[in-house]
Amino acid sequence: MAIIASGAEAVIALEGNTIIKTRIQKRYRLKEIDESLRRERTRIEAKLISEARRCGVPTPIIRNVTDFEIKMEYIEGTALKNIITPQLAEKTGELVGRLHTCGIVHGDLTTSNIMFKDGKLYLIDFGLAYLDKTLEARGVDVHVLFQTFESTHENHEELTESFKKGYARTFQGAEEVMERVREIEARGRYA
């Protein structure tokens, strides 16, 4: 077993073709509260990954869930950030549209959390995901992705336009969400 990533919330290990995501203990929290939070977040993350998959969004297949650990399929692909094109941005829009149609907000929508494998895009890392059908939550989700485009890709305007096309294809309220994204951007500029 090899540790491939370590963050504030979890350690990610790879064993064969299985990812093991373990939520780490926070020593500053009371033990009972810490365990309750980690157990709940682990359960919710696994549930949302499975729910997204049922909604037509490719995600890793969940193999096992325990109190603080999720074992899931390893998507051995390339991070979208390394290969993004307008065509892939459009496909990303379709995926996010399906996700939002199901009422799921990813919470960390970046080109590092989208993998490309065998001609297909997969959404990974649902650690910050939650259920929310509000315009604001969906707008923030898309805004985070657009910020990623802008900070890491020179052709970010083209990528954004391509994303919008795909998003509108699979999400009925796409125009309202894009309007909210513009409001969020304006708030950021004048804050």
Helix 156-170 with 86-101: angle, nearest 10 deg: 40
Which amino acid would we find at residue 148?
A: T
Judge residue 93's burial from the number of C-beta atoms within 10 Å of its C-beta, 0-12 exposed, 13-18 middle, 19 or more buried. buried
Which one is catalytic: 34, 67, 108, 118? 108
How far, in Å, CA of 114 to CA of 93, rounded?
A: 12
Give 84's contacts (C-beta < 8 A, 6+ positions apart). 111, 149, 153, 159
Written as six digits, the tokens of 138 are: 């969906």
Question: Known catalytic residue: 118?
Answer: no
Catalytic residues: 108
